[in-house]
Amino acid sequence: MTLWSRTRTAVYGEITRTAMELFLERGFEATTIDDIAAAAGISRRSFFRYFGTKEDVVLGDLVARGELIRDAFEARPESEDPWTALLGALHSVKDAADETDAEMLKVFKMVHQTPSLRARSIEKHLQWQALLTPEVRRRLGADPADPFDVRAEALVATVLTCLDVAGEAWARGDGAVPLEGLFDAAAAAVRG
């Protein structure tokens, strides 16, 4: 990693930490980009060099997490059916997450209580669907050029909906039940 890349990563991390502190203290909607820039000691213009929107501060790493899920999914044993492999991939990425459950819970609550974050989260999950669908198609033996074979898209969308439903319940219940258990319960209900 070059000095420029390390510096950029450090600044990105500092802006993110500063913004998250403000969001959790003041609320997402009450915190402006100018507030974040001032607290981070940067200009508004510099903020936009790192983030396209305020929502991206909270959800920006979801695209990278989607790539981790795809990589974990592709590494799952060929003997696993696509559903089982997707669930295993999601569990393995959760286990590798840097944030604590308490930190994740705060973010989940903020996302589920803020319409613009909720919409952006759904948009990011659509990007995950695009990342995961080709491997599901391959595992199903589906023709990638067949526009009418919707099985892969349906499987991925269903797994991501289970994740969303579990996350919302986890936030609503203040983390009293483990997120993994809620996700597994949602997935089992669909398969049952």
Structural domains present in the chain: 3-53 (1.10.10.60), 60-191 (1.10.357.10)
| CA–CA separation, 105 and 128 (whole Å) | 21
pLDDT at residue 64 in the model: 82
pLDDT at residue 152 in the model: 96
Residue 179 has a CB neighbour count (10 Å cut-off) of 20
Are 16 and 9 in contact, with CB atoms under 8 Å apart?
Answer: no
For the residues of the chain, what is the DSSP string, one character each?
--HHHHHHHHHHHHHHHHHHHHHHHH-TTT--HHHHHHHHT--HHHHHHH-SSHHHHHHTHHHHHHHHHHHHHHHS-TTS-HHHHHHHHHHHHHHT-SS-HHHHHHHHHHHHH-HHHHHHHHHHHHHHHHHHHHHHHHHHT--TT-TT--HHHHHHHHHHHHHHHHHHHHHHTTT-S-HHHHHHHHHHHHH-
pLDDT at residue 65 in the model: 87
| Tens-place pLDDT, residues 19-67 | 999 999 999 999 999 999 999 999 999 999 999 999 999 987 787 889 9
Are 166 and 91 in contact, with CB atoms under 8 Å apart?
Answer: no
Are 58 and 123 in contact, with CB atoms under 8 Å apart?
Answer: no
pLDDT at residue 94 in the model: 75
| Tens-place pLDDT, residues 77-128 | 999 999 999 999 999 887 666 678 888 898 889 998 999 999 999 988 899 9
| CA–CA separation, 107 and 60 (whole Å) | 12
| CA–CA separation, 155 and 82 (whole Å) | 8
| CA–CA separation, 188 and 192 (whole Å) | 6
